[in-house]
Amino acid sequence: MPEKKYHHSSSYYVQGNTVRKLEQVPEYDRKEPLAAPKEREQEQEKVRRHPAQNWDFVSLLFMLAAISVALFVCISYLQAQQNVTSMSKKIASMESEVLALKNQNDAAYSKIESSIDLDYVYDVAVNELGMVRADKNQVQSYTNKKSDFVRQYGDVPDVKDSSKKN
């Protein structure tokens, strides 16, 4: 064993090329007997087995609050996920419904377009209702410089009157 040199004035000793600090022995009350090593191990074992007994009330409340908040956040997240999923399904069903209605509308429009016989309309208008085709001198053109939309509240002015205003 290497030689140990003790310095009486300090709590350090030299062992080889290392300086070590002396461990101080705690002072025990002489009234209480020292606990045997087995008893100390048993006490430490009890503390290791039941750590919740060492918690104070504030720590317990804090832990319960943290668990409650975490649980609330998890439940809220799951509800939000469920809402997103249900909305996605609802949007998909509405899109398919719109597509079906658009197809029905296009089919109905095509049916109406194909059912109109312009020759039949012309025949009924001329033969049954007595309508005649307008001559070139009966058609009058009118240009409105204020807007593209014309609403007729009265007679259209003569060609001579409209040329004077220009």
Q: What is the pLDDT along the chain (166 residues), one digit of tens a residue?
A: 555 554 455 677 777 788 777 776 666 555 555 556 677 777 777 666 655 556 688 888 999 999 999 999 999 999 999 999 999 999 999 999 999 999 999 999 998 888 888 888 888 999 999 888 888 887 777 777 777 776 777 776 666 644 444 4
Res 4: pLDDT: 55
**Per-residue pLDDT at 121:** 87
Tokens 């033969």 found at: 127
Whose CA is closest to 22, among 34, 13, 35?
13
Tokens 């001559």 correspond to what residue? 135
Contact between residue 109 and residue 101 where contact means Cβ atoms under 8 Å apart: no
Domain segments of the chain: what residues? Answer: 56-134
Global confidence as pTM: 0.38
CA 30 to each of CA 26, 80, 98, 155: distance values in angstroms, whole numbers, following the listed order: 12, 66, 93, 128
Q: What is the DSSP letter of 112?
A: H
Residue 152: the pLDDT is 73
CA 162 to chain centre: 63
pLDDT of residue 106: 94
Q: What are phi and psi of 141, to 5 degrees?
A: -100, 145
What is the distance between the alpha carbons of residues 134 and 142, in angstroms, rounded to a whole number? 17
Three-state secondary structure call for residue 89: helix
Q: Tell me, what DSSP letter sits at residue 9?
A: T
- Of 36, 42, 43, 6, the residue nearest 22 (C-alpha): 6
